[in-house]
Structures are given as C-alpha cells and as structure tokens.
Amino acid sequence: MKARIYHSISEFFRSINLELEQAFDFTIHPLDGLHGEAPMASPFFRTNYHTIVLIETGKGHYTIDGHWYPLKPFSYYFTNPGHLKSFTIEENVQGYMITFTEAFLRTNYPGNILADFPFLSDETAPVMYLPQAPFARLKILCEMLEQEYLGRSPYKEKILCSQLAGLLFKTRELLLAYQAALEPERRPAEIAQQFRAALNQNFMNIATKKDNRIWNVQDYAAHLHLHPNHLSNTIKAETGKTVKQWIDERVVSEACALLKNTSLTVAEVAYELAYEDASNFSRFFKKATGLTPGQFRKS
C-alpha cells in the first residue's frame, strides 16, 4: 500500500491540518487533545522517526504492517521508522507521545545504540499493557523529559538524550515481561528485518575497521541470497524507502555525529565513512543536507 512518509512530527501534523512546533529531532507532548477532538482517525502513513506512546486514559486502536492493537489505559508502545501504520482515537486519550530520530540518538548518545537498544531495529513491536506500578514509573520519566524539553538549558539535547536513554533501558526491561504476542512475520517483513540488521552490521564493521567500504544493493542481495531486484522491491514496499535511501540516510547520520562530536577534519570524517575521496563525500553531504560539512559543523 502506498502511503506518504513523514520526516518529522510537525510535518505529519501539518498533513492533518494541525500545528505542532518542533525545534530539533526530539519532541515530547502530552496527548490530551493533541490530535484534536475525538473521535478521529489518521490516514495510513509512514514516518522516518521513532515514536513512543504512553496512554494513561482513553480508548482507540492502531495498526502497523497489518497487525491491529487496541489502545486502552496503561498501554505503552513504540514504532520504528518505515512501517505502514494508522491510528484511531475513539475517546480522548491522556498520556505522552515522544518522537526522536536515529540521528538524534547517534549525535548525543555515547554508548552503542544497537547493543543497548536492539528493539529499535525490530520490524514490528506490539503494544504492552502494563500493571499500574511500572506504568507509573514510565510516567515519571516522561514528566522529567517534558520538564527538560520546555526548559532553556544550553545542554538541552544532551540532557534529553540521557533521560531518553533511561526510558529506552526501562523499555528493554519491560519487553521481557509484558510484550504481547505477535502473529508470525510475513516473509517480506523478515527480509526487511534482515536487511536492516545487515545495514547496521556493515556500518559497525566500517567503524571498527573490519570493512573498508559501504555496501551497495548488490552486496546486500548477495548477503541475503536474493536477487537485487527482489530485495529492492521488497524493501521499498515494506518500508516506503529504497535500499539506497536507507544507505544514504545512514551515511548522513554517521557523518553528522562525527562532525558534531569530534574534531576530525572533513577529510578524516570521509575516511571514517570509507570514502577515499573527501570531495566526493562533501558533494554527497551537501546534496543530502543542503550544507557542506563545514557549514553543518559551524551551524
């Protein structure tokens, strides 16, 4: 099914004729009235960011990749980029919604994202229905995030990422005990999951010097024992993005993190990302972001 892909929560809200301010690649907002008056239903859509939703009261449901889940008090769920989803609010909900991009995490989190939060690369994660005590602890974490988000600290993004990491570790803990049953995955979803795992592994190998080049479509197809056209069509259908878009966005994400958090020269950043020619890297970066690497660093 074709559906528009949104790169920020503010972009999605404009599509449903609502306004939501966003200054950077992280947001947290109370749910009460956020989506207008109930009842309301969204169209099918995809996002290029992660979403976490904590529902204290209210009623509704959401669908993701053909799976349907009711939403009720003490529901907690998250969705990852690329999936086809929709939601319906039947009775006004209260709680919190958090959005953040992989780039936000990579730029501000000092640990190993893939090792610490493996569920962020899962294809589909079902809703959790929590007892009151663990739900209350999540609500406290969300309240702390909201307070910091509304503040004016010069270190706001670092502090928010640190608090978000605490919430993600708590999510990992809760998944062990409260994850709902999920229908067996379809083969296309399995291919998408295996591709993203291979994408993560390639960039991890580049960072640790176990690999000296960025894989292309043919490399991933060979790794997954698939024809390149079949892989390309499956990834596009399952995630709304092409294999090349996934690769390019990961390069930009890694480059932004290195430019912001290290003193490496542009040529050294290019080398870290397996580019032999720094000028080719700079042209790619400017085409993708609208800024040269130097301009991004200064901004």
Q: Residue 183: what pLDDT?
A: 46
**Cα-based distances in Å from 171 to 43, 146, 215, 235:** 28, 18, 32, 27
| Residue among 95, 117, 126, 90 nearest 30 (CA) | 95
Q: Taking residues 152-165, report their average pLDDT.
A: 96
Q: Which is more confidently placed, 72 or 65?
A: 72
pLDDT at 180: 57
Rg (CA), the chain: 20
pLDDT digits (tens, 9 = 90+) for 228-272: 888 999 899 888 899 999 999 999 999 999 998 899 999 999 999
CA dist., res. 9 & res. 17, Å (int): 13
Give the tens place of pLDDT for each residue, 199-213. 999 998 998 889 889
How many CA within 13 A on the CB side of residue 216? 3
Q: Residue 123: which pLDDT band, with cuts at 50, 70 and 90? A: low
Give yes or no for a contact between 266 and 278, defined as CB atoms under 8 angstroms apart: yes
Is 176 exposed, middle or buried, given 0-12, 13-18 or 19+ CB atoms closer than 10 A? exposed
Domains of the chain: 5-178 (2.60.120.280), 187-298 (1.10.10.60)
Residue 181: per-residue pLDDT: 53
Residue 129, pLDDT > 80, answer yes
For residue 58, give the amino acid letter.
Answer: G
The Cα 215–Cα 200 span in angstroms is 11
Q: Which of 259, 261, 268 is nearest to 293 (CA)?
A: 259
Q: What was the pLDDT predicted at 185?
A: 44
Q: How far is CA 173 from the centre of its chain?
A: 19
β-pair type (75-79, 5-6): unpaired
Q: Which residues contact 59 (CB under 8 A, 6 or more apart)?
A: 70, 71, 72, 89, 90, 91, 93
Mean predicted confidence (pLDDT) in 24-46: 92
Question: What whole-number percentage of the chain has pLDDT above 70?
Answer: 96
Say yes or no to pLDDT of 114 above 90: no
**What does the mean pLDDT of the chain come to?**
90
Q: What is the pLDDT of residue 16?
A: 86
Q: Is the pTM for the entire model greater than 0.75?
A: no
Of 140-144, 218-222, 223-227, 276-280, the least confident: 223-227
Q: How far apart are CA 12 and CA 64, in angstroms?
A: 17
